[in-house]
């Protein structure tokens, strides 16, 4: 691992379609760009439309430094559609953050956050009001024969008893199937739900996708404890010390069995979170265990992303792929890691739905195959959200605006 990291130091880092070039000073004290390591061939110059190698702009140097394995295999487009049955939009009900879809005995299963009542925010009685759409949630599940019409089956995991670490809300769930067992990992909040509350991660397991589920008595993952709030005001942006990238919250957990261990990917929110040139300061981390139930130990290499929001990861070949959306300078990218920790950008992928629940029953040997269809959620408004279906299509050619839609369809490969 250290050898891998060391090889990356001093090299050009790809970030959201941009390259950051390591510079040095010339004799006039000006910053110049090192290009000695660039592999400049006539073929590459011709391919990029660069005709004079003696006058390379910073943009041209970035382009010449792009990896040769950057292809369009992960470039595509998405459409989103309403579902039928119990997961169709319902006034007065929140259904959101669908898990991955799995298929058992010919039937599709999905788990999700469910709550009722409108969102009141933090201005009222936070002990009794609902401060977020994902507040006061339980985890429910539904089944489908065709992936379109869904039947709500009931509660899978309830909030804990008063005083428990999960007594306020359990939400943003993910499913893992392994060795005949089923594992649900999810976010938890303990009352009172104030601005500075620290979200954690819980776990439940069962020998059947229909339950019953046994919950972990304690969280399996918690925020770092090295940040320091400033003053007593309930303000998440006032800090004396920010601490680790996950010093405030650990969100959106997803466990992947990988190389004989269990990799728990999660989104970290930092105390005193800032707005950067790429939006919110959000990054991902990973914690690793020998057993699905833990204990999970955070990687020393965290954070493992510079951007992101909801976790969307899957095994691809011998490595792990990650879809990075919404926040940060590397948002809207697909990234790949050969070891589950060190991720590099493989493609820009604009327009991907938020809060994706991948269909893990799909064949992922083909690039973009994992996006054939899955689930997502939509805000009807801030009070009510509902689950929808997305469908993805790999895009291999460009059709000029105004040309017939029939030609566009024929030019694009599923």
Asked if 256 and 389 sit in the same domain, the reply is: yes
**Looking at the structure, do residues 26 and 138 belong to the same domain, yes or no?**
no
Calculated CA dihedral for residues 347, 173, 96, 128, nearest 10 degrees: -140
pTM of the model: 0.88
DSSP string, 21-33: PPEEE-TTS-EEE
User: For residue 364, is it within any domain?
Assistant: yes
Write the pLDDT tens digit of every residue in 148-163.
999 999 999 999 999 9
User: In this structure, are 337 and 362 located in the same domain?
Assistant: yes
| Shared-domain flag, residues 149 and 258 | yes
Q: What is the CATH number of the domain that holds 385?
A: 2.115.10.20
DSSP string, 45-107: HHHHT---TTS--HHHHHHHHS-TT--STT-EEEEEEE-EETTS--TTEEEE----BEEETTE
Q: Taking 90 as the threshold, does the pLDDT of residue 268 lie above it?
A: yes
Query: How many structural domains does the chain have?
Result: 2
For residue 319, what are the β-bridge partners? 316
Residues 329 and 348 in one domain: yes
Is 5's pLDDT higher than 70? no
Question: Are 253 and 311 a contacting pair, CB within 8 Å?
Answer: yes
Instruction: Identify the domain containing residue 378 by its residue range.
Output: 76-394
How much of the chain, in percent, has pLDDT values that exceed 70? 87
Shared domain for 192 and 318, answered yes or no, is yes
Cα atoms found within 13 Å of the Cα of residue 21, Cβ hemisphere only? 22
pLDDT band at 404 (very low <50, low <70, confident <90, very high): low
Query: What letter would DSSP give residue 145?
Result: S
pLDDT in tens, 110-131: 999 999 999 999 988 888 899 9
Q: How far is residue 362 from each of residues 75, 276, 316, 392, measured CA to CA in Å?
A: 18, 36, 12, 13
56 plus 95 within the same structural domain: no
Residues 306 and 361 in one domain: yes
Phi and psi, residue 78, nearest 5°: -130, 150
Are residues 105 and 28 part of one domain?
Answer: no
């Amino acid at each position: 691992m250290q050898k891998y990291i060391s090889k990356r130091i001093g090299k050009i880092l790809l970030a959201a379609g941009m390259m950051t070039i390591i510079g040095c000073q010339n004799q006039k004290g000006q910053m110049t760009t090192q290009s000695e390591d660039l592999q400049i061939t006539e073929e590459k110059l011709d391919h990029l439309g660069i005709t004079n190698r003696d006058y390379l702009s910073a943009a041209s140097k970035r382009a010449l430094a792009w990896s040769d394995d950057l292809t369009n295999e992960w470039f595509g487009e998405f459409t989103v559609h309403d579902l039928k049955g119990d997961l169709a939009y319902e006034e007065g009900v929140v259904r959101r953050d669908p898990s991955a879809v799995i298929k058992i005995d010919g039937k599709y299963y999905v788990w999700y956050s469910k709550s009722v009542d409108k969102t009141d925010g933090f201005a009222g009685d936070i002990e009794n009001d609902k401060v977020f759409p994902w507040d006061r949630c339980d985890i429910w599940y539904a089944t489908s024969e065709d992936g379109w019409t869904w039947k709500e089956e009931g509660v899978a995991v309830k909030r804990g008893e008063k005083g428990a670490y999960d007594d306020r809300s359990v939400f943003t769930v993910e499913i893992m199937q392994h060795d005949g067992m089923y594992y649900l990992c999810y976010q938890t909040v303990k009352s009172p739900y104030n601005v500075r509350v620290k979200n954690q991660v819980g776990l439940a397991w069962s020998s059947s996708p229909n339950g019953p589920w046994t919950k972990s008595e304690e969280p399996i993952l918690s925020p770092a404890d090295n940040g320091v709030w400033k003053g007593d005001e309930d303000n998440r942006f006032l800090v004396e010390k920010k601490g680790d990238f996950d010093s405030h919250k650990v969100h959106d957990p997803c466990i992947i069995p990988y190389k004989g261990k269990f990799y728990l990917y999660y989104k970290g929110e930092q105390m005193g979170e800032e707005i950067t040139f790429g939006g919110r300061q959000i990054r991902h981390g990973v914690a690793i265990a020998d057993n699905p139930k833990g204990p999970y130990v955070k990687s020393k290499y965290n954070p493992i992303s510079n951007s992101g929001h909801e976790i969307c990861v899957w095994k691809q070949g011998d490595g792990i792929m990650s879809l990075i959306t919404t926040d940060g300078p590397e948002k809207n990218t697909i990234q790949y890691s050969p070891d589950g920790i060190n991720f590099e950008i493989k493609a820009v992928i604009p327009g991907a739905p938020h809060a994706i629940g991948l269909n893990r029953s799909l064949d992922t040997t083909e690039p973009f195959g994992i996006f054939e269809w899955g689930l997502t959620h939509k805000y009807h408004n801030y009070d009510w959200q509902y689950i929808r279906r997305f469908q993805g299509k790999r895009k291999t050619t460009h059709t000029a605006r105004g040309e017939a839609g029939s030609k566009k369809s024929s030019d694009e490969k599923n």
